[in-house]
């Protein structure tokens, strides 16, 4: 396989936006495969942001439901099975060892780009993988330059922020986070716009994220 993508996250819960971004990732960077890599503990997420711990089997089961019948997508249990804090450099090295001849692309959120130079061994990450950034709708003047220039090209352009080169995925949809979805569930509000029916049913059947 020539081009491989790594899509890490807590996926707590996995939602439609995750799937939409993964499809953009695959199409726009011509990936042969995209690996969803659920983390056990993220080094940059507080317990409030990552949600109350739930059994990893629920995360994996929900991902299986979300990703069934999708092409070029596979779930990697590397981080969630080894448990402990997950550092991206270790995951990138893991995939580089498995696929030494492949081009690796690491997908992160636009909000993480601002603190990417604080990531463990971030220069090693950039040496081993190319960075792809998923857009998220939020106000931050530091990133206005990404959206002020209107490009007529359909090809992804390479950008640079604080010396870090990356590809910005193109998506017109408003993206949202798992914490947004958990909040709606805990408040008893409708989530059908954010979750596929099978994942929503699974959550209520197993009484997850309820207040």
CB distance 63 to 19 below 8 Å: no
Topology (CATH) of 3-205: Rossmann fold (3.40.50)
Give the separation between CA 12 and CA 14, rounded to whole angstroms.
6
Task: Give the model confidence (pLDDT) of 139-175 as tens digits.
Answer: 555 555 565 555 545 567 889 998 999 999 988 777 7
Every domain of the chain and the residues it spans = 3-205
pLDDT in tens, 10-32: 999 999 999 999 999 999 999 99
| pTM score of the predicted model | 0.89
């Amino acid at each position: 396989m020539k081009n491989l993508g790594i899509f890490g996250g807590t996926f707590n819960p996995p939602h439609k936006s995750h799937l939409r971004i993964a499809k953009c990732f695959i199409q726009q960077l011509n990936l042969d495969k995209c690996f969803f890599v659920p983390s056990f503990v993220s080094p940059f997420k507080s317990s409030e942001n990552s949600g109350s711990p739930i059994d990893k089997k629920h995360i994996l089961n929900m991902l299986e439901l979300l990703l069934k019948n999708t092409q070029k997508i596979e779930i990697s249990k590397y981080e969630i099975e080894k448990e402990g804090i997950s550092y991206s450099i270790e995951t990138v090295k893991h995939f580089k060892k498995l696929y030494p001849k492949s081009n690796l692309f690491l997908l992160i959120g636009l909000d993480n780009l601002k603190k990417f130079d604080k990531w463990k061994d971030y220069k090693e990450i950039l040496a081993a993988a190319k960075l792809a950034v998923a857009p998220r709708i939020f106000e931050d003047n530091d990133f206005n330059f990404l959206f002020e220039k209107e490009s007529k090209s359909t090809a992804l352009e390479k950008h640079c922020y604080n010396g870090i080169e990356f590809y910005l995925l193109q998506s017109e949809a408003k993206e949202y986070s798992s914490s947004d979805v958990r909040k709606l569930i805990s408040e008893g509000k409708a989530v059908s716009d954010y979750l596929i029916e099978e994942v929503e049913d699974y959550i209520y059947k197993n009484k997850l994220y309820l207040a």
